[in-house]
Amino acid sequence: MALLLLIFFLLLGYAHFRFRRRRMEALAAKIAGPPAWPIIGNAFEFLGSTHDVLSAISRLLRRYQTPTAFWFGPRLYVAVSRPADIEAVLTSPHALEKDPVYRFLEPWLGHGLFTAPVSTWRVNRRLIMPTFNPRNLERFVDVFSAQTQIMVHKLAKEVGRGAFDVFRYVNLCSLDTICETAMGLGVRAQDDNNSDYVRSAERLSQIVAVRIFKAWLHPDWVFNLTSLGRDHARELRYANHMTATVSVPSSNPTRHRERPEDGANCVLSLLQVVQRRRLEHSLRSDDDDDDDDDDDDDDDDDDDDDDDDDDDDDDDDDDDDDDDDDDDDDDDDDDDDDDDDVKDGGASQKVFLDLLLEQTGTRMSDQQLKDETTTMIVAGNDTTATMTSFALLVLAIQRAEQDKVYEELRRIFGDSKRAATSRDLREMQYLELCIKETMRMFPVAPLIGRRLTADVQLEDAVVPAGSSVVVCIQHLHMDPEFFPDPHKFIPERFLPDNKRHPFSYVPFSAGPRNCVGLRYAMLLMKTMVSTVLRHYEISTPLKMADVQLKVDILLKSVRGYPVVLEPRTARNGCS
């Protein structure tokens, strides 16, 4: 009897489940896609390694065209790769929520911009965006150059040793740079000072990627019982801490940056870093308030003396006006110089965390600031390091384009060994074309998932509320309709005269929930690639057809990024 009751209630629950989803299933039936099995849907299509995932999605899109509907367990997904459909999704107010699989990143990233629900994202993005204005970003160029010079020095030991994976060097350089510009901390990753963190970050990416594409690992209670779940918990402990050179908080407002001479290495949680920075910000603010009070007192004293000085002031007015005119001219020149080459402000340089504290005050809690900082470090480091490694690998394959980039650098720098400035980076137009073409062929975010809170109309179909849309960026970027000969590396595609659909190229997503760090990433990539090419000629044993891809959250090369270095000689213009 008990068994019959159990069967009855199971059947009743299943019937209720199907009844609630009848509209979704009816709309899904109008979209081409593979037949689905009960319960598991089309999950078997994605069995295999993360290397097989892109092949599986491309196979579905080729077989059924776009849009393509498939079921991953009980969830409906619709894959799109046409620009008009992608625009409809990425600009829709009903497609701002991230797909539920993004929650697998929350134990690591918290609720930063990348993973936050829309209600949190709307508020925080409005607060964070001003910190990414161009002037703030250009102030970091000296940090970019300094850390890249360290990388170039480290690369010297690879000369004469044959091919090696350049990603490790680029990844550590990017981590040092982002930690310094985000938190003001010298983590010295390039000196192997944070090997546990680096290893844990890489392992966590791999674990999350595997979990995303294995439906049976989606329930937390199942995942936590597996060896992957136990590895995930262990790596999180390392990923939430960093070894950094820190100083004791001081009321001295000029001590903004943690410098090696300020103190010793300490292991800090990222939350502790935020708390220390907030304390220092508070102390500086108090000191500024005291200075303002002193200025007010001085103003009162000056008022008492004004009457006595009026006659003298009248006599000196003409001379002062002439002096002021000269000063104004000098100031204008200084301002122009500042706009062109914003220098690292030394001890007074403000980092992203300082700018966020100024912008938000107490409107963001320590935990929220920690989540945003973690997101900036993890997402910014991995994406920038991966894109830069792809760019170096591609230029090592495409020697003619590498020579063109180098000639551009020779025009900018001549024989000078000076570091790049923000003005120099703006002049690297052909290098930027090469980076854009690299991101077309190897977009680091090949898939974007959005959950729909209401129906979204595509060109030829309606995607129902409650389902998710997968934006297939790599498939889009290889569409010959928009990029003829898509497997060829042609940087000139991105010259201003070449017009195309605005949503045919979306390496950093698009629409209101696009990546806020696009300009930061481009400046850092141009700094790293240009500095490497000024010092070394690069080659590789790989051909373009040899580059195989996998998805470890981001798009990665299965065989790494093997390059061979040869120093630039005096004849070919060593920098």
- Parallel, antiparallel or unpaired: strands 468-472 and 75-80: parallel
Per-residue pLDDT tens for 261-319?
Answer: 445 566 777 888 888 888 888 877 666 655 555 555 555 555 555 555 444 444 444 44
Going by C-alpha positions, the residue among 247, 257, 253, 258 that lies closest to residue 284 is: 253
**What pLDDT is stored for residue 184 in this prediction?**
87
Per-residue pLDDT tens for 383-411?
Answer: 999 999 999 999 999 999 999 999 999 99
Quote the DSSP letter at residue 569: P
Please state, as a whole number, how many other Cβ atoms lie within 10 Å of the Cβ of residue 51.
14
Task: Tell me which of 542 and 322 has the higher pLDDT.
Answer: 542
Q: Indicate the annotated binding residues for heme.
A: 515
- pTM recorded for the entire structure: 0.84
Q: Are 384 and 521 in contact (CB under 8 A)?
A: yes
Per-residue pLDDT tens for 4-62?
Answer: 777 776 777 666 666 667 788 888 889 999 998 888 888 888 877 777 888 888 889 98
Query: pLDDT-based confidence at 575, cuts 50/70/90?
Result: very low
- Total number of residues shown for the chain: 575
Task: Tell me which of 556 and 250 has the higher pLDDT.
Answer: 556
Per-residue pLDDT tens for 487-527?
Answer: 999 999 999 999 899 999 999 999 999 999 999 999 999 99
Q: Indicate the annotated binding residues.
A: 515
Domains of the chain by start residue, with CATH: 23-284+351-567 (1.10.630.10), 290-346 (no CATH)
Task: Judge whether residue 339 has pLDDT over 80.
Answer: no
Query: pLDDT-based confidence at 345, cuts 50/70/90?
Result: very low
Task: Tell me which of 298 and 149 has the higher pLDDT.
Answer: 149
**What pLDDT is stored for residue 25 in this prediction?**
85
Token representation of residue 497: 């005269």
Calculate Rg over the CA atoms of the chain: 27
Please list, in sequence order, all residues whose beta carbon lies within 8 angstroms of the beta carbon of residue 76, skipping any fewer than 6 positions away.
24, 28, 69, 70, 464, 466, 467, 468
Q: Helix, strand or coil for residue 244?
A: strand
Question: Which of 493-503 are b and which e, b meaning 16 or more Cβ less than 10 Å from the residue's Cβ?
Answer: bbeeeeeeeeb
Separation of alpha carbons 164 and 564, rounded Å: 7
Q: Helix, strand or coil for residue 246?
A: coil
Token representation of residue 181: 């510009």
Q: Are 61 and 68 in contact (CB under 8 A)?
A: yes
Separation of alpha carbons 420 and 431, rounded Å: 14
- Give me the chain's average pLDDT, please: 85
Per-residue pLDDT tens for 445-492?
Answer: 999 999 999 999 999 999 999 999 999 999 999 999 999 999 999 999
Q: Where are the beta strands (DSSP E) in 86-208?
A: 97-98, 164-165
CA distances from 237 to 35, 190, 224, 229 (A): 42, 21, 15, 13
**What pLDDT is stored for residue 344 in this prediction?**
41
Token representation of residue 483: 């990029």
Q: Are 466 and 560 in contact (CB under 8 A)?
A: no
Token representation of residue 152: 């170039």
**What pLDDT is stored for residue 288 in this prediction?**
60
Task: Tell me which of 343 and 48 has the higher pLDDT.
Answer: 48
CA distances from 288 to 253, 282, 349, 361, 462 (A): 8, 10, 16, 15, 57
Q: Are 393 and 542 in contact (CB under 8 A)?
A: yes
Task: Judge whether residue 256 has pLDDT over 50.
Answer: no
Task: Judge whether residue 360 has pLDDT over 60.
Answer: yes
Task: Judge whether residue 437 has pLDDT over 70.
Answer: yes
Can you list the alpha helix ranges (DSSP code H) found in 363-472?
366-397, 399-413, 422-427, 429-441
